[in-house]
Amino acid sequence: MGPQTRFSGLVQLREPARIDGEIEGEIFATDTVWIGETGRVRARIEAPEVVVAGTLAGDIVASRRVELTATAHVTGSVECPVLALAEGGVLDGRCAIGGAAPEPDGKP
């Protein structure tokens, strides 16, 4: 989704996706979700892997891994077995790291 894209509602993804625009709602994915540096997301995200370089206001539930880059700003809870937080990345919220979360099926 390009930087000029705006979307509100339920997003179901069956392949890797990069978000450089704005999304508000819920995102359910069966593969990796990237939020690029220009991405602005207000949503709950369920996916195997989530990489954030932009801004996310919402919760993340990942079955494999969450990565917050140096430009990431996340406000909300993160639940995952592995969390990578680069120097400069911001996580303002609750974090639960440990056992694998169930694999998402891409459905709400």
Reported as a single tens digit per residue, the pLDDT across 67-82 is 999 999 999 999 999 9
Look at the pTM and tell me if it is higher than 0.85.
yes
Q: What is the domain partition of the chain in residue ranges? A: 6-97
Whether residue 22 is predicted with pLDDT greater than 90 in this model: the reply is yes
The DSSP bridge pattern shows strands 55-57 and 17-19 to be unpaired
Reported as a single tens digit per residue, the pLDDT across 42-76 is 999 999 999 999 999 999 999 999 999 999 999 99
